[in-house]
Amino acid sequence: MKKLALLTLSALVASTLMAADGAALYKKCAGCHGAKGEKKALGKSAPIAGWDKAKLVEALKGYKAGTRNVYGMGMLMKGQVASLSDADIEALAEYISKLK
Ligand code: HEC
């Protein structure tokens, strides 16, 4: 029983930390994508709130690698994600996938 409680607790702490990270990182995205990811960034992108996490990770890594360009603004997004680590991208994707 004690072990189970401990496991539950550490899972909770881990997910809270992840959420905090993602939320902090998302602040610089909110100007274009909206506080809840509900906007079409610069009138171009699709609203990103609630996207599947895997799809978000793929999109962000694509921009970082310079291989994604859906609406002709890929270079702009590359600048936004260039300095993010894989862990940052994971945390952001986790956070955005839960926005509604
Ligand atoms: C200066 C405005 C701006 C900021 C800041 C910005 N974005 Fe974007 N974002 C865009 C535009 C414009 C596009 C469309 C790019 C293209 O042509 O593919 C886009 C596309 C995206 C897409 C793909 C959407 C689609 O329709 O395919 C995702 C996911 C995304 N951004 C996430 C983020 C995240 C996460 C951040 C913060 C780290 C961020 N953006 C910061 C403007 C911005």
Q: What is the CA radius of gyration of the chain?
A: 15
Q: What percent of the chain has pLDDT over 90?
A: 79
**30: pLDDT strictly greater than 70:** yes
Q: Tell me which residue has tokens 């610069």.
A: 42
Q: Which protein residues are within 6 Å of ligand 1, measured from CB?
A: 28-29, 31-33, 41-42, 44-46, 48, 56, 59-60, 68-74, 76-77, 80-81, 92
pLDDT average, residue stretch 37-51: 98
pLDDT of residue 19: 46
Which residue from 26, 43, 28 is spatially nearest to 96, judged by alpha carbons?
26
Residue 8's pLDDT is 65
Output 4 or 89, whichever has higher pLDDT: 89
Average pLDDT estimate for 54-76: 98
pLDDT attached to residue 53: 98
- Is the pLDDT confidence value at 70 over 80? yes
Mutating to test ligand 1, I would choose from 28, 29, 60 the residue with most ligand atoms within 8 A of its C-beta, which is 29
Q: Is 96 exposed, middle or buried (0-12, 13-18, 19+ CB in 10 A)?
A: buried
